[in-house]
Amino acid sequence: MIESLVISLQLALTTTLILLLIALPLAYVLAFQSFFGRTVLEVMVALPLVLPPTVLGYYVLLLIAPDSFAGSAWAFMFDSSLAFSFSGMVVASVVYSLPFAVQPMQQAFRAIPATWLELGKVQGMNIKQTLRHIILPAAKGGVLVAAALSFAHTMGEFGVVLMVGGSIPGETKVASIALFEFVEMQQQTEAAQLALILLVVSFVMLSLVYSVNRKPLLGGS
């Protein structure tokens, strides 16, 4: 049980860090830029919210299969399979939790007054400087919500990680899969303990989200 919790925590932390790096430029583009195909991009980002996890997991598995381009490239560079591995679960988790990272940032970025951005332009700031000195400090509440939701969502994943990672003890058996197997084997004590731990983690992360959301997204802290 402890081993599966550790794997879940590692997966959630890794996924959250990667998501923050990916979601930041995506949220910026969706919040401030107008371009052909913007709606399509927004739909693609939000698709994991409505797509069944097993369907998403199936397509990710096809994407990283040993005979795919990504799978072959990974095997060539690291001499290992991307499918049914921790790294493969990270790929799936990033895709699955992407909207939970992008949308809170996008909302916070859109709430920034246009006059603040214009002031940055008047002072000669480039995009990088504007992001660092105006956008991120003003929208740090949204970034924090994105991180908390991404972490909590990844901790609770089941269908996607099962499809992509399987249930390899010590490598891909996360807490949600371990809980399912405890119930299946009628190990009620272990199942109850693990379920309680996951409930507490989810409660704490959502409490953080609601605490931040009670404050203005601009500069929320």
Which domains occur in the chain, in start order? 2-213 (1.10.3720.10)
Q: Are 177 and 162 in contact (CB under 8 A)?
A: yes
Q: What is the mean pLDDT of residues 99-110?
A: 93
Distance in angstroms (rounded) separating the CA atoms of residues 22 and 106? 13
Q: Among 56-70, 120-134, 169-183, 190-204, which stretch is predicted with the lowest mean pLDDT?
A: 120-134
Q: Read out DSSP for 136-175?
A: HHHTHHHHHHHHHHHHHHHHT--HHHHHHH---TTTT--H
CA 39 to chain centre: 21
Confidence category of residue 35, pLDDT binned at 50, 70, 90: confident
Q: For a pLDDT cut of 90, what percent of the chain falls above it?
A: 63
Neighbours of 137 (CB within 10 A): 12
CA 131 to chain centre: 21
Tens digit of each residue's pLDDT (9 = 90 or more) over 119-171: 888 888 887 888 888 888 888 888 999 999 999 999 989 989 999 998 899 89
pLDDT tops 60 at residue 221: no
Distance in angstroms (rounded) separating the CA atoms of residues 192 and 186? 11
Tell me the C-alpha to C-alpha distance, in Å, between residue 69 and each of 78, 84, 85: 14, 16, 17
Q: For a pLDDT cut of 70, what percent of the chain falls above it?
A: 96
Q: Are 39 and 45 in contact (CB under 8 A)?
A: no
Distance in angstroms (rounded) separating the CA atoms of residues 211 and 79? 45
Nearest 5°: CA angle at 205, between 201 and 207? Answer: 115
Place of tokens 């249930």: 167
160-180 b/e with 16+ CB inside 10 Å = b? Answer: bbbbbbbbeeeebbbbbbbbe
pLDDT tops 80 at residue 14: yes
Token duo for residue 42: 């927004």
Token duo for residue 142: 């949204």
